[in-house]
Chain A
């Protein structure tokens, strides 16, 4: 951001209205020389002097993905990293050590309970990389507390969580980015021919991903004193501690939280967030949700039908992952391909948008639309039948049975 060298405009024909709007100046009034867009609470609350160039950040859930996210933000000159939160002592301490080593001080604060971190008025933005069953709750709470959020994918555990997250982000004008770095980076060879017109009108794309998550009935094990088990479970149903239940490894076939229905949708949401994200980006339906999911009973695969006629198939037999069907020979105009803003990939995109208040490449709405595909698919496989989906109403029309799967009651005292 450059310095503000010219004065702001100083006349208006609507003086009375201007006066009233001026009175909305949110707080005691920032100095004229403040950068034009960057938020003014970057290093303080309403009543502290002007913005700094740094975004003050903290992180919640600093395990596998969280560690990577933390490293990416910590490495940025425009970020001041001040707090870590994890219900596991070891992860928390390691995360703090990393920050303190970086800044050569001991200022980074540790939290076991994310609510304490959320309450800090000096923090502008947080990144969330907890298990999936916590994502919605934390993102919404962060927005209510005026924080921008970078949330790991998959952004939701249920369909109903999605609109609630988008609503919270929009309500408070927060920048909320989903976390799949692969959507833009990994699928270029698929995306570019779709957007530059090479494939003509796009008809369909196939995604191969799985499996679905499974029930978990692991036996009780002795609970180590290095984990706050009740807080790890949070809104999920109570279950006794078992290492495999909460292990953060990337497996989705057992032995990790990613495998079990209370915390994850399995590979269908975990890798699905990447593949479905890339596929919906490629065929340019990322702003939409399907209007129908067709269950092909004989061959056990799905077709998601989008408004406008494009189709996304899941695990279609004898069809490769990310295989696109276009209209050979047809010439259509190229469309400008959206990309990250700023520098530093998806993390830089988020930080740039925190400064400019623009929507990031993986704006929460796109993340939600992606993971909605996963959830709709899971429900169709579970019920073994086709479904109609009213995206505007977020309901399965005239389908009481399917509508039961829209959400799950959260364990007390957690509510969205």
Chain B
């Protein structure tokens, strides 16, 4: 049944019957306690990514690797990150695979993608709260592509390490969308510091935010944060 489903993926495309997809889902469920079977399945699915199967078939595969993927399938997924048609679905899996290899593949891809694909990879690193990428993301705050700079700001706001906070606190974006994202990232970092009881560092970030004549709702956010610093 599973073999037939995997075979069917070779000709699977938009409009095809969902039967092979359902068969694969069944195989995923039934192998929940069978590590060897899961590994075989993962290997077979990853192989589809290396084949000339359709974009739709690879979409199906990435969704399933999101569920069961391990470090073993990361190389196959990583290759897709630079492909305009497959990059998102590769991240669909890589963003959720806990293995450190998945995060590394995203970091490694940063230098080989640009434009929207880079934005996507940055977003996935942020979603993973990947502290190891903070140093790589920090310089991107000044990227000439404002979408990249904005994504870096949001990701650093998710990562919330000292490096991230410092980068956000010293960024001087001129583009409005990047500015909004950098402010948001700084506020997120300050809140994280407050949650950890580090009021002094949070205050530094708030101070930095006020220095740039922010919009009114940001001033309100800062005032709110400062009140939290003053509380017990």
Contacts and interface: CB of A to CB of B under 8 A. Distances in A.
Direct contact of A and B (CB under 8 A): yes
Interface of A: 24, 26-27, 41, 45-46, 115, 119, 121, 144-146, 160, 167-168, 171-174, 215, 217-220, 237-240, 383-384, 400-401, 403-405, 407-416
B170 interface: no
Nearest to A219: B15
A146 B124 contact: no
Nearest to A238: B88
18 contacts: A24-B219, A26-B223, A144-B184, A146-B216, A160-B127, A173-B220, A174-B217, A215-B21, A217-B21, A237-B88, A238-B85, A383-B32, A400-B98, A407-B95, A407-B96, A409-B124, A412-B117, A413-B151
B155 interface: yes
Given A119-B176, A409-B92, A409-B127, A24 B14 contact: no
Contacts of A219: 14-15
B160 to A, nearest CB: 12
Contacts of A383: 29, 32
B229 interface: no
B216 to A, nearest CB: 5
B66 A415 contact: no
B5 to A, nearest CB: 13
B66 A404 contact: yes
B21 A172 contact: no
Interface in B126-147: 126-127, 147
Residue in A115, A409, A411 with the greatest tally of chain B CB atoms within 10 Å: A409
B67 interface: yes
Contacts of B123: 409-410, 412, 414-415
B119 A412 contact: yes
Interface string B8-46: 000000111110010000000100100000000000000
A138 to B, nearest CB: 14
Contact of A237 (B16, B92, B94, B217): B92
A349 to B, nearest CB: 22
B217 A218 contact: no
B98 to A, nearest CB: 6
